[in-house]
Amino acid sequence: MALEATHIRFALDLMSDYQVQDVEKYISGAIYPDSRYVTGIDRNLTHGDEITLPEFAKDDFRKGWQAHQICDDVQNKLRKELFPELFADYEDGSGKYIVASALKIIQDMNDLKSFDLQNYLKYLDYAYNPNGEKVEDVKRYNQIMIDLYENKKEVSMDEYYKMWRALGVDEELGNKIILKTKTFLKDQDLVKRIQSGYDEMIKSYKERDF
């Protein structure tokens, strides 16, 4: 899971390839998979290799959904390639999750400044429930993201913490994610490497190297 400013930026960069007709459905589809944090449905229903198959993208919502999966795939691949040393000291999944989440926040912060997200938040008024989850819960997830980004070019650590909590992350883990993010932000070389990761994601997509 990238965070949603990253997902929307990535989806917009892929949009011409998809020949999208309905931008609202496309952008809503681009963040839909992570609504599982609120709806509670199994991750296998929203993420998986089959989502990247050409026949999956049969409408604009599913094109956005596919862009989301591709974004996750390229980000996960590059994270392992670009920052192996950050994960080396962790045996448990919790430690790796904290590091990955901190990297996502820093990339999201940069992506938020890299395009005008405000023009696209209105499309999150549209919500669809392709896996039969409660559409009210999908809308609630979309609203969490609207609240996070609306009228902002920069999101504070407190606001990111509130987002994690709204997604069901417990207080202790949420605090560890924010603490790790603050630690990483003190390393300017690392921050620059994280920020350059987006261009590598686009390159990986264009080369189909994921």
- Report residue 88's pLDDT band, with 50, 70 and 90 as the boundaries: confident
Is the pLDDT at 90 greater than 90, yes or no?
Answer: no
Average pLDDT over residues 59-64: 98
Q: What is the pTM of this model?
A: 0.96
pLDDT at res. 209: 76
How does pLDDT run across 172-181, given as a tens digit for each residue? 999 999 999 9
- Report residue 20's pLDDT band, with 50, 70 and 90 as the boundaries: very high
Average pLDDT over residues 192-204: 94
User: Which tokens hold the place of 156?
Assistant: 């504070």
* Cβ-based burial of 202 (10 A; exposed 0-12, middle 13-18, buried ≥19): middle
Average pLDDT over residues 45-53: 97
Transcribe 5-27 into DSSP letters: HHHHHHHHHHHHHHT-S-HHHHH
pLDDT at res. 89: 77
Average pLDDT over residues 191-203: 94
Per-chain mean pLDDT for the chain: 95
Using the CB atoms, write b or e for 18-52: b if 16+ within 10 Å: bebebbbbbbbbbbbbbbbbbbebeeeebbeeebb
